[in-house]
Every structure is written in C-alpha cells, then in structure tokens.
Amino acid sequence: MLENKIEYDKVLNPAQLEAVMTLEGPVLVIAGAGSGKTRTLVYRVARLVEVGVAPENILLLTFTRKAAGEMLERAAGLADERCRRVSGGTFHSLAYRVLRSHAGLLGFHDSFTILDRSDMEEVVYSLARDMQVQRRSIRFPKRSTLTNILSKSANLQTGTEEVLRLEYPQFLEYTQEIGRLASLYKGFKRDNQLMDYDDLLIFFRQLLTENTEIRKRLGVQYRYIMVDEYQDTNAIQADIVKWMAEDHHNVMVVGDDSQSIYSFRGANYRNMFEFPGLFPEVKTIKLEENYRSTQPILTLTNALMEQALESYTKCLFTKRSGGEMPRVIDTGTEPEQALFICRSIQDLKKKGQSIRDIAVLFRAAYHSFELEMELNRQGIPYVKYGGFKFLESAHIKDLLSHLRVVVNRDDAISWGRVLRLIKNIGQSKSQSIIDWMKEERCHSWQIDQWPGLGKGDGGLGKLAELLKALSAEKLKPEQAVRLVLDYYEPILMEKYDDFPRRYRELEQLISMASRYKGIRSFLDDLIMEPPNSPSELKGYPKRDSLTLSTVHSAKGLEWASVFIIWVMDGFFPPARAHSNRESLEEERRLMYVATTRAKDHLFLCYPSQEAPRSWSNTDYDHALSSHGFAPSSFIQALPGQVVEYCSYRTGMREPVEKWLAKGQEKMPEKGARSYKGLRPGDKVRHPAFGHGVVSKFLDKEKVEVLFRNFGRKLLHLGYTTLEKV
DNA sequence: CATCACGCTGTTTTT
DNA sequence: CAGCGTGATG
C-alpha cells in the first residue's frame, strides 16, 4: 500500500519521534527555531496517511498557503501521493471556504465580496470623509492608521477606545468619532455584502459557536487537525481551533513563543500556554535541538533572549561544533552599509560560496532600498520577498474592479473606482451614480440610463457595453479579463507614462485567470493568496541569485541560507514612546527569528550614524537618549559578541570616500535647467530603476525622473548615478 | 465639478 | 518621498 517504507526512528530525534507517533489526542509542540518543526509536521502527515487515515480527514493549518503546499509536497515525496489530498491552508482560506456556502446563516448572500487591505482603507476613509470630522489640535488619523485601529480592535475583540488608549494615545481626542466610524463601517459592510479579512475569522467563529450542526460536520470532516505557527494565532483563531476539535480532541498545535512577531495584528503567543487549559489531557513536547545554526550563533541568540522581559520556554543547543563568531558591524550610514554588504557578499563569493545561499533580512521593506541600488550597480542578481504587493498597484486594481462590480453589484467601492476612470467623472458624480444604482436596483449594464447623463458623459455608454458583455453567461475568466483589458487600454495609456510595463502585467492576469473556472473564484483567490510580484506569478526564479527578505516574509520561506545580514534601523517616533517597551520586545523576537535562520555566518549590521529620514534634526544617539533605546542597544547588551567594528574610518575607507566625493559634486540651484549635462527630456539610465526620462529639476537635491518600469520616481542625485543614454 | 500644483507630515510587518 | 488637504484654475 505504501510506496516508500519510512524508518521514522532513523530520521527523527526522540522528541520529534514522539510528536510524530502520537496520533490521537491533543498535543502541544514547543519547537525552537530550526528544530525540525516542519520536518515533524511532514512526517506526521505521512504517518497518519500510512496508518490508513483518509487524507481528506486531515487538516493542516499554516500561516501561508504556500507553506501548506510545500509541506504536503514533501510528505507526498516521503510517503505517497495521497498526502497531496490532505486539506491544507490558512485560517482565512478555510473560513472562506466554509462561509461561501453558509453565509446565508449570517444574513449575507453567498456572493459576498472580500475586501483586501486597500479596499478596506478605501471604505473606512470614505465613511470618515462623510462624517466631516472637525479638525482639532492634531490631524485626524490618516486612512491606513484608521484602518489599522479598526482591524486591531476587531482582532483583539475590544472596543476602539481600548486600542486607542493602548497604542494610539495621540488620537484619544477623536475617540468618539472613531467609535462611531467603527459602527458605520460595520453597517456599511453589511449593506454592501462585504467582508474584510478579520470578518472571515469572526464570522467563521460565529458560525461554529452558534451552529451545532456545522460544527459537528466539520469535526467529522477534519478528524485530525494540525496547526503550524500557533504563536501567531489570535484569540479568534484559538477559538476556531477549540470548536473544530471539540468532539475528537485530535489536534496538534506547533509553535514557538519566542518567534511571535505578529502581535501588531492581534496575535497572542499566550495562546500556546492556554492550550492545555482548553484540552487538559494535552501532551506537551519540546523540540530544543537545533539543526540549522552553529553554536556561536545560537549562543548569541540565547543571550539575546535572556535579556527579554518575559522568559521563554526553551534554550537552543546544537551538536554542530565549531563555527565562526557572529559579527556585529556598525556600518555608519546606509550607503556605507550597502557597500559593506556588497563587499562581504563578493568576498564570500570569491571563497566559493554561492550567492543562492546568502540572504539579507530586514524589518521593513524599505530598509533594503539603498542596498538594492548598490546590488544593481554591481550587477549582483537578487530576489526580494515582502513589501510591495503586485495586486495593490493601481492598474491591477482598476482592471479587477470591473470584474468585481459584475460579480457583486453592491460593491460600491469598486463602482467608485470603475466610474472615476471615466473622463469627467470624479468624486461627486460617481457618488450620485452609485446612489442612483442602489435605488433603481437595475442591472449593472444599464448604468448608462443614469438620469444625470450630460453631454460629456459618453464614457458611460462604453462602460455599459463592457458590463453587458461581462455579464454573459458561461464567460470564461480569461475572456472576461481580455474584455476589460481592451476597454481599459486607452485609459491606461492616458493615465500612466509606463504604459507598456503595466500592460504586460495586465496581460499576465489573463493567463492567471485561465486557471480558474469562474470569475468569482479567480477574484477571491487573488485576495486570499495574493502574489507579491509579477515574477512570482511565473514561479520563483531558481537562478543563482541573492535573497532579500523582510523577516516576516522570510518566515515562510525555506532556503539554504548560510549567511544572514540583518539590517537594523528600528526607530520609533515620539508618539509611540510610551509603548517602546513592547515594541522593543517585538523587535527582539524579530531578531531572534532572523538570527536563527543563519547557518554558518551571521552579520548584524546597523548604521549608527543614520538619521531617520523623517526626523532630520535627530540622529541615532538622540533616539537613544530621548526614547530610551535604539536598536544598537540590543547589540551593546550582548557582551563578547561584538567581534568587529567597521566604519568608513577603517575598513571601508577607500570605496566610501569615492562615494562621498560623488555626493559632493555641485548641486544645481533651484529651478536650474540642467545638471551634470542633463536636461529635462533627456533619456537616462539608473542602476536600480532602469531607463527613464528626466522630467524636471525640483530643487537643489531632487530631480524628477519618469522611469519606464517604476512610474514617477523622485531621486536624490547625491545618492545615485544617473547615466545619460 | 474635475484637475492640478503646492506644502505638510511621518512606523512597520501580513492574511 | 508618497499621500493627503488645500486653494487656484479650467
């Protein structure tokens, strides 16, 4: 029956083996970084299938769908193909699957639309605008902050005042308005058949709590439940686990309290310690042996975590002996840091290290901007994970909105987007059309019958034609995308200067769409599992390139890293000074995740002389003295680990001075017509951004360049080299 | 009513 | 250095 015979005791250590062989009853696995957590889960799936459990009865909940897919793939390689039929995914995707067929029980149509982050921002902000809040001593929070507040209050299941009090005290004077906004938002979602990511979980839980039959049915369907990254679940997700395993108690949760880095979205690693309370007969297993890093790296990590305010459950050790000391480098400024990193990479490369095995990790996506420029300049290929979302770029959203209004006629946000693309239709006209549509309850393609139609509104007719075509039955998703693209093309051409790139990306949507049966499932899948970049659509590039990643994205990735650089900056503005402590603790755990991904070499870089961009009068030391800490305080707190000090005054002297000399070239005066022989209209090439055209000089230091690949991009000439072509 | 130019402001990470 | 509000222009 089984294709391959697995000798579990030969490939697993005793703790792992116990976790794999305990199939019945609740199990809590506390798994340190690099302790073979994934391996354990993979073997357990294989084992379950081996003893005859139907794959359909196994549920593997992970943090990303990609992670689930990879695990099942590995399990299939170990045992047999049936492992691929195991149900795997995120809490959100499971919730989505269930809600799609049972939304009626909650007073929703089954055709509700899912709001992604930026949709949510748009809804929230348009409601806030309608409220006409009066300006007080400080500005009303901006759209993304407002959305964060609402989302967090949903995830933490507290009122918005609580969130404000704890995390945004600067906005306390708007407590009333934000509270009202929260309820307006809730009502708006109901009226328009919308659910955001948080709602998926909340409504799923509600369904489980209120509906015994569904609960029982899911219990029968998923007799064996495994949850990965349990420390990153929030209270709602913990409830979901509890309800789903209510009858059979066959649930294994795996996690690591010191790797909890999602508290900003309401995750609570204490769920791990509360798990035994839910299932008293739980068996707890600790995985403490590390298979990834050398002992010196683990020693640094352990020292780091010893300083934590909370004590954690385990201590990492390894049987690997030897290894070089981790290096802590003060790189002075950001451009020097970039130079230093590139030089280190080149050195390793000369020693025969493949850059495929090298990764650079950082907290925020923008931390690598400077480095990316330098990498491009030096011709080092890289792949970046995290940060910018392909789907959130305006042209993609524009196109998809047309499909969304066809699928869900009540989706006012997408209507607004679609309508405002038409010439002579802006904020107010689009609003009155939407209101009229709501009154009339007519078909979407009858939009051109709007009574307010004026002379210049021929665009509505074209839109109506498109919508009519899109409403045709049995229209395949790829045909639908094609139709919209044909309609949208002239608009796109007018709206963006880098039309060709955007058009190409949109064409890729056609091939993506062809993998789906219906428009609805295509749209939802894009939201539930958004691809990060166009390159990701084609599958990850496997060529020989460096990995750049935010720590959060790195968590889900498996690569043979031997070398990790953590670029630090971590500066928190005064408004958040009160919660520095908590931020500090989260940053510490972030650093734990980052450092434990290093196998043999670990470089921790921090640019101590970098003045945070937005606080031009302050610098790093100032941050330290006025707010109690700067990231370097982590490092200073690790005695004996700082084995190298490097700045432009020492090892970096030569290249940095060259760089500095470039930066000191005379800048053009305000309103200058040319600089370095460049004039507006000249074609230029930038090492990072590619080809573009100089549009104008803004002031002494900035020039506006239209890049073919990036749209408008402002550059500091002191930092970069524009090459005339 | 739509659009454009200008000035001000400031945390980030993801489903 | 983008995204917002504001005030001027078409």
Find which nucleotide's C1' atom is closest to A264's CA: B13
Q: Can you give the pLDDT at residue A616?
A: 34
Q: pLDDT by residue (tens digit) across A488-539?
A: 888 888 777 667 777 887 888 888 888 888 888 888 877 776 654 444 443 4
What whole-number distance in Å separates Cα of residue A400 and Cα of residue A532?
16
Residue A624's φ and ψ, nearest 5 degrees, are -65, -45
Q: How far is CA A335 from CA A274, A332, A357, A374, in A?
A: 46, 9, 24, 8
Please tell me the number of Cα atoms within 13 Å of A355 on its side-chain side. Answer: 22
DSSP β-bridge partners for residue A549: A361, A385
Which of A118-132, A160-174, A253-267, A548-562 tops mean pLDDT? A253-267
**In the 106-125 stretch of chain A, whose C-beta falls under 7 Å of nucleic acid strand C?**
125
Residue A466 has pLDDT above 80, yes or no: yes
What whole-number distance in Å separates Cα of residue A587 and Cα of residue A658?
34
- Looking at chain A, the whole-number percentage of residues with pLDDT higher than 90 is 20
DSSP state letters, A277-298 = HHSTT-EEEEE-B-SSS-HHHH
Q: Can you give the pLDDT at residue A38?
A: 87
**In the 137-156 stretch of chain A, whose C-beta falls under 7 Å of nucleic acid strand B?**
138-139, 144-145, 148, 151
**In the 285-344 stretch of chain A, whose C-beta falls under 7 Å of nucleic acid strand B?**
none
The 8 Å CB, 24+ separation contacts for A620-628 are: A620/A571, A623/A571, A623/A572, A626/A574, A626/A577, A627/A572, A627/A574, A627/A577, A627/A580, A628/A577, A628/A580
Find which nucleotide's C1' atom is closest to A92's CA: B15
More confident call, A326 vs A574? A326
The integer distance in angstroms from the CA atom of A678 to the C1' atom of B3 is: 30
Whose CA is closest to A542, among A655, A653, A383? A383
Lowest-pLDDT choice from A409-418, A467-476, A619-628: A619-628
The integer distance in angstroms from the CA atom of A174 to the C1' atom of C3 is: 21
Whose CA is closest to A513, among A403, A663, A665? A403
Q: Measured from the CB, is A386 under 7 Å from any atom of strand B? A: yes
Query: Which two tokens mark A24?
Result: 């019945």
DSSP state of A685: E
Question: What band does A560 get if pLDDT is binned at 50, 70 and 90?
Answer: low
The integer distance in angstroms from the CA atom of A214 to the C1' atom of C9 is: 61
Q: Can you give the pLDDT at residue A707?
A: 57
Q: Measured from the CB, is A157 under 7 Å from any atom of strand B? A: no
Alpha helix stretches (DSSP H) within A79-196: 91-102, 117-131, 143-156, 160-167, 175-191
CA dihedral sign, ordered A501, A547, A232, A328: negative
Q: Can you give the pLDDT at residue A626?
A: 38
Find which nucleotide's C1' atom is closest to A429's CA: B1
Q: Measured from the CB, is A649 under 7 Å from any atom of strand C? A: no
Q: Can you give the pLDDT at residue A538?
A: 39
Q: Can you give the pLDDT at residue A462?
A: 86
Measuring alpha carbon to C1', the residue closest to nucleotide C4 is: A142
DSSP state letters, A584-653 = HHHHHHHHHHHHTT-SSEEEEEE-TTPPPTT-TT--HHHHHHHHS--THHHHHTSTTT------TTTTTH
A620-643: average pLDDT = 47
More confident call, A211 vs A136? A211
Query: Can you say how many angstroms the Cα of residue A551 is from the centroid of all Cα atoms in its chain?
Result: 10
The integer distance in angstroms from the CA atom of A409 to the C1' atom of B10 is: 38
More confident call, A369 vs A105? A105
A194 close to A123: Cβ distance less than 8 angstroms: yes
Residue A181 has pLDDT above 60, yes or no: yes
What is the pTM for the complete model shown? 0.79
User: Looking at strand B, which nucleotides approach a protein CB closer than 7 A?
Assistant: 1-3, 9-15
Q: Can you give the pLDDT at residue A206?
A: 95
Q: Measured from the CB, is A5 under 7 Å from any atom of strand C? A: no
Average pLDDT, chain A: 77
Residue A646 has pLDDT above 50, yes or no: no
More confident call, A399 vs A553? A399
User: Looking at strand C, which nucleotides approach a protein CB closer than 7 A?
Assistant: 1-6
Say if residue A637 is exposed, middle or buried (CB neighbours under 10 Å; 0-12, 13-18, 19+): middle
Q: Measured from the CB, is A713 under 7 Å from any atom of strand C? A: yes
Q: Measured from the CB, is A673 under 7 Å from any atom of strand C? A: no
Q: Can you give the pLDDT at residue A235?
A: 93
